[in-house]
Amino acid sequence: MVGNKAVAYGAKLARIEVTSAYPITPQTTIVHYLAEFVAKGELDAKFIEVESEISAQISVQGASFAGARTFTATSGPGLFYMHHPMYGLRRPVVMAVVHRGAKSMQPDHTDLMAQRDTGWIQLYCEDNQEVLDTTIMAFKIAEDERVHLPVALGMDGYILSYTAEPVEIPDQEDVDKWLPPFNPKYGLGDPLPYGDWKLAQPVRGYGTQEAWIEHHEHMMKAKKIINEVDEQYYKAFGRKYGGLFEEYKCEDADAVVMAMGTIASTARPAITKLQEDGYKVGLLKLKTFRPFPDVELREIAKKYKAIGVIDRNVSLGSGGVVYNELRGALYDMDDRPNVVGFHTGMAGKEVTPQHINHIAKKTLRSIDEKVDSVEWV
């Protein structure tokens, strides 16, 4: 099935109770599939028709406060319209973001990366099986009382959204056992503990900063729960995605290439071939971007001499978002690896195994010689 249908099936299997979304390419057919499920009686959910993306976001937030399991989806500019109500949200809403770049209708990660400071957990998907499974896992993560935060799952537009791949659909009974109904501790009658404003409750003496501190703490706690849910899903359904990140063929590697989304799929056979040719390089797939796994990456970085970071994004005036995040995370290491940055895949530019070969070999060269720290490929 195509990626958009995989998302819709994941939401259906999770037994969402309220959904609202405004159509925008390349997300539109997610809305179509969900509407069809509801119309045919295959999904017992309220489908709210709205006239804008901001209305869709606010609709599912309100329904979540009322105690419903909620889902929405969007792409590119539609996500930008949602920016204001996304900030500070402490409800377990799940949203699929079908990547569409800010400077074209083609995919890159600038849409979801632009929301990195809004307090949403961000999970990036490599293929359509991972899309379906991550949709289900997202509800388990979001609704955990130790987290109770919104989750956005990202998938590359067109490359996944409109491309059909083999996808195994779990049985509804098995999903029901693994993901119980949403039973919130706090709801519409008592929103403050999970709301935006704690100005009247300076519990720890931080005054008006209390809401920000608590939200940040819950984001950092979520790292443990993300790993737990990934392992639980593996035990129940036989598939896992690394939780925070996945190491691929890294056992004897001197260097690794870090990739996200579908670029990781392109990198796997390229890395395999490079190793067959004697190059000691592996793949580090970043699954969770928010919360950023800084402590966890510092621990595994001790094994490598260099890390090449592929950014399918750019923070204009600063550079690669993941590149800069990783450099900051590794700064205090006594013997940190070299970090080399690469921009590619922007505005839908095709990323090939040849690009991965170049990136991997340059990353390996950086161990013994000085190379440019950032390159557009």
Query: What are 263's two structure tokens?
Result: 């670029």
CA atoms of 294 and 314, how far apart (whole Å) = 20
Residue pair 377/342 in contact (Cβ under 8 Å)? The answer is: yes
Matching fold, domains 3-178 and 246-376: yes
pLDDT at 172 over 60: yes
Residues 111-115 have a mean pLDDT of 97
246-271 tens-digit pLDDT? 999 999 999 999 999 999 999 999 99
SS3 labels along 225-250? HHHHHHHHHHHHHCCCCCCCEEEECC
Coil, helix or strand for 92? coil
| Structural contact between residues 301 and 135, judged by C-beta atoms closer than 8 angstroms | no
Domain boundaries, the chain: 3-178, 246-376
> Is pLDDT larger for residue 207 or for residue 108?
108
Distance CA 85, CA 264 (A): 32
Whether the pLDDT of residue 187 is over 70: the answer is: no
Q: Can you give the pLDDT at residue 188?
A: 56
Whether the per-residue pLDDT at 165 is higher than 70: the answer is: yes
Minimum mean pLDDT among 7-11, 200-204, 293-297: which range?
A: 200-204
Averaged pLDDT for residues 297-316: 97
Q: Give the residues across from 178 on adjacent strands.
A: none
Q: CA–CA separation, 290 vs 86, rounded Å? A: 14
Of 278, 270, 229, whose CA–CA distance to 92 is shortest? 229
Q: What is the pLDDT of residue 202?
A: 54
Question: Average pLDDT of 283-295?
Answer: 98
Mean pLDDT value of segment 180-191? 71
State how far the alpha carbon of 52 is from the alpha carbons of 35, 56, 112, 153, 350, in Å. 17, 6, 18, 20, 31
pLDDT above 60: residue 200: no
Residue 186 pLDDT grade (very low, low, confident, very high; cuts 50, 70, 90): low
pLDDT at 110: 97
Structure tokens at 240: 């896992």
17-59 pLDDT tens trace: 999 999 999 999 999 999 999 999 999 999 999 999 999 999 9
The pLDDT assigned to 197 comes to 47
pLDDT for res 208 = 72
Between CA 311 and CA 343 the distance in angstroms is 5
The answer to whether residue 195 scores a pLDDT higher than 50 is: no
Kindly state the DSSP code that residue 371 receives in the 8-state scheme. -
- Least confident among 82-96, 106-120, 340-354: 82-96
Tell which CATH classification among 3.30.950.10, 1.10.287.130, 3.60.40.10, 3.40.50.920 matches the domain 246-376: 3.40.50.920
pLDDT at 199: 42
Percent of the chain with pLDDT over 90: 90
Contact 117, 48 (CB under 8 A): no
Which CATH code fits 3-178?
3.40.50.970
> Which residue from 353, 56, 250, 289 is spatially nearest to 151, judged by alpha carbons?
289
